[in-house]
Amino acid sequence: MQIEENFDIKNLTSFKCGGKIKKVVFPESVDEFAEVLKMEPEIPVFGNLSNMLVSSDGFDGTIVVTTKMKNFSFENEFVTADCGLKGAKLSQAAAEKGLSGLEFMIAFPGTIGGEVFMNAGAHGQSISDILVEAVCFHPQKGLVTLNNSEMQFDYRTSICQKEKIAVLSAKFKLKPALKAEIQKKMTQNLEFRKSKQPSLALPNCGSVFRNPEGESAGRLLESSGAKSFSAGGAKVYENHANFIINFNSATSTDILELMVKMKNAVTEKYNIKLMPEVRFLGGKNQREVELCKILYQM
């Protein structure tokens, strides 16, 4: 498997921000991935780095990036996919087979592993609606297969987040449908993203904060004046207040400072504490450590 030392991670991230990682491992199969995790059960695991902010000061440790794990296969209405496969690619493959259930993934930049990990969803669909089971690595139990109920899905979360479980592959159950109807829904989802969310040509990490129960983080942020906020090379997207754009070589500190400013504005106006959807990797920069304590309530 490919192993890189002092790897510059910046260009792999959606934020186009980040320093050097001491060691990055790129497994190419579930077996290779499992071997890595057996040696280092607590190793941080990432997919397409589309939901990640990596410190500009880098990370003094080892991480796994799963983007070389791209295998998938269909069996009747079931599809099984490796964790590193992009959700959008699997969505397109299912559409070609006349199978519905993955249309919501078409506009996602992330990978299957990350989408299962966070129970990704949009447009009334989510991972928890279609997942049959996932092959995972548990830090204490080793390789395990968890069914839908064992995954303990909730809004943007699963047992994987609670117990630091890595998703290796996932099996989904889809439904036969007319290809034209599937394509129509996928086109609508793509058009919605284009109208409401920034293009990935503008470096961003998707939604910054989770929606509080019964509320919209974007609405709360907009009504709190967040669309005018900026910090260094980072600013809030003018068309949606729950997105941050790296418009001028922003550092990770710039982005964290802006996230804290956004969070504080909503807390002051509504007494609601927004929780980040974006994950952070770092630890060398003391100011960033302080900002993360505020953001993640550590």
Active site amino acids: 156, 207, 277
Structure tokens at 247: 């418009």
User: Helices (H) and strands (E) in the chain — how many of each?
Assistant: 9, 18
How many Å is the Cα radius of gyration of the chain? 19
How far is it, in rounded angstroms, from Cα 252 to Cα 203? 13
How far is it, in rounded angstroms, from Cα 195 to Cα 295? 28
Tell me which residue has tokens 């802006």. 258
Question: In the beta sheet, which residues pair with residue 209?
Answer: 276
Compute CA distances 281 → 23, 45, 295, whole Å: 14, 11, 13
Cα dihedral sign for 156, 283, 271, 229? negative
Structure tokens at 97: 């087979």
Structure tokens at 249: 């070589």
How far is it, in rounded angstroms, from Cα 268 to Cα 231? 19
Question: In the beta sheet, which residues pair with residue 63?
Answer: 24
